[in-house]
């Protein structure tokens, strides 16, 4: 599978998963654009990856996914430089300072703010990119969802830790899957496809008790590494998946079974 000269934007491209997506796109001969609100982190990721391989094609743009002005500025910057956008991966992970509280402690204002930032941001990026893709007459969108958009939380996994599945996360990630289907249908006959990717938990030095409990719910490995998702992501970005459209693809080592 090859992404030769495909221009692919990754929102939240400077984060944990974003960085590995950027590297994978560059590894497959694509032009990978880091689009992050944290420009400094974006520059760092770009420099680090270019030190690893000077032939990578990686660029950097500033983006705030909840600002229409910022999204359109990003589109214009990319178009002025590369003349096209082949695909965008909605991967940013905005959350406010109170995010992650126990269900009973979540204030209405925080619930709304987090839904606005994350779900609202994914909606806005899709809407603005779709306006552009309709003019371009093709496009490809991948929305990053989660296993917790597919199944109910397994709260027992968090016993003895400060972790939880935030209620906003469940609402946001399940809605992203349905929003994706809505938009795929809306785009009938437009040569623009849109899928979501529901990822299992990614190892990031979580507490040992959690890792062990999580693994018992999986079929082989348990928590995944960033690299474990790459094959599916590249497939969805490549022309080999031309007729995969409106789907939610789950990569989770069987956690949701």
Active site (catalytic) residues: 169
What is the CA angle 77-115-120, rounded to 5? 30
For ligand NAD, the binding residues in 61-80 under the rule CB under 6 A are 63-66
From CA 248, how far away is CA 255, in angstroms rounded? 15
Cα dihedral 199, 205, 209, 213, rounded to 10, equals 20
Rounded to an integer, what distance in angstroms lies between the CA atom of residue 231 and that of residue 211? 24
Closest residue to bound ligand NAD by CB: 15
Quick one: which of 33, 41, 124, 183 contacts ligand NAD (CB under 6 A)? 41
- Least distance between ligand NAD and beta carbon 65 (Å): 4
Q: Specify whether the CB–CB gap between 199 and 145 falls below 8 A.
A: yes
Report the candidate in 229, 156, 161, 15 with the shortest Cα–Cα distance to residue 221.
229
Q: Which of helix, strand or coil describes residue 57?
A: strand
**Distance in Å, CB of 116 to ligand NAD, minimum:** 11
Is the CB of 109 or the CB of 239 nearer to ligand NAD? 109
Closest contact distance (angstroms) between CB of 57 and ligand NAD is: 20
Considering only 31, 78, 91, 236, the residue that binds ligand NAD (CB under 6 A) is 91
Binding site for ligand NAD (CB under 6 A): 11-12, 14-18, 36-38, 41, 63-66, 91-94, 121, 144, 146, 199, 201-202
């Amino acid at each position: 599978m090859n992404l030769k000269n495909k221009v692919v934007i990754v929102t939240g491209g400077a984060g944990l998963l974003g960085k590995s997506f950027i590297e994978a796109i560059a590894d497959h001969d694509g032009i990978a654009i880091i689009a992050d609100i944290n420009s400094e982190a974006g520059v760092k990721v770009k420099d680090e990856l270019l030190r690893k391989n000077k032939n990578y094609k990686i660029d950097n743009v500033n983006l705030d996914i909840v600002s229409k002005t910022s999204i359109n500025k990003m589109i214009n910057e990319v178009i002025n430089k590369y003349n096209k956008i082949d695909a965008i991966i909605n991967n940013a992970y905005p959350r406010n300072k109170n995010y992650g509280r126990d269900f009973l402690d979540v204030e209405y204002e925080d619930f709304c703010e987090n839904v606005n930032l994350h779900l609202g941001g994914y909606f806005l990026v899709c809407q603005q990119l779709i306006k552009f893709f309709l003019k371009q007459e093709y496009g490809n969108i991948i929305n990053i969802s989660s296993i917790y958009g597919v199944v109910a939380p397994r709260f027992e996994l968090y016993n003895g830790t400060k972790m939880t599945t935030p209620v906003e996360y469940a609402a946001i990630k399940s809605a992203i899957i349905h929003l994706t289907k809505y938009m795929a249908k809306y785009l009938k006959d437009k040569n623009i496809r849109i899928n979501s990717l529901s990822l299992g938990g990614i190892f990031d030095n979580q507490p040992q008790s959690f890792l062990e409990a999580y693994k018992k719910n999986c079929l082989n490995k348990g928590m995944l590494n960033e690299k474990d998702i790459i094959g599916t992501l590249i497939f969805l970005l490549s022309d080999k998946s031309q007729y995969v459209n409106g789907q939610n693809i789950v990569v989770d080592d069987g956690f949701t079974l």
